Structure 1
């Protein structure tokens, strides 16, 4: 009788471990899907902002050309400003990367907190109105 209980216990333990592994896999997949969705939304915003910036920069370059009376000086000024911004971004790339990593970490942990709060709310018994 004791051997039967040990076999049953080991089978139950194996089933429990398999269930936990599946749960971790599903949670990981959910987190990856949420991260991909956030990245896709960010990509859409970046593309739209880039298009707007291109047109604004062209407008500024043509305006500077008309004000300064040249045919290319406005484009050179705008290009110079962009080169300075690029150099600044290059110098600050570590800080930018750290900020981005921090933001992504906060988004993931915030999502986990929301999910755990929703699970707790679902597990609590509903109160009947008095």
Structure 2
């Protein structure tokens, strides 16, 4: 009888140990996936930002050529970016709520 209890304890211990290892592996895999997605997102944001900078410089130079000026194109582009930044700052709470909802939706369907 004691041997059966000891054997049952051994199997229970092995079962719990296996479940813990499985949980550990699943958690590690989930964290790795999040890190991979974050690295990809950061690289995409950097590339997108650089592309945007060059697009705005090109637009500013084109406006300068069109207006036959050295600085009006850059001032117009600066004003546009300043206005966009101010609108973005004022919409802070609404944007944060929207991003929070999107994140919940993304992580819900993974």
TM-score range, shorter chain: 0.7 to 0.9
- Consecutive aligned runs of 4 or more in structure 1 exceeding 4 Å deviation: none
Equivalences for residues 32-111 of structure 1 within 5 A: 32-111=31-110
Distance 1:94 1:15, change over 3 A: farther
Report 1 or 2 for greater relative contact order, CA contacts < 8 Å, sequence distance ≥ 6.
1
Shift, 1:50, TM fit: 1.4
Unaligned runs of 5+ in 2: none
Shift, 1:5, TM fit: 2.7
Shift, 1:26, TM fit: 0.9
Unaligned runs of 5+ in 1: 112-130
Residue deviations 1:44-86 (CA, integer Å, cap 9, x gap): 3222221221111011111222233332121112112111211
Q: State the superposition RMSD in angstroms.
A: 2.1
Which range moves more in the overlay, 77-86 or 60-69?
60-69
Distance 1:24 1:99, change over 3 A: farther
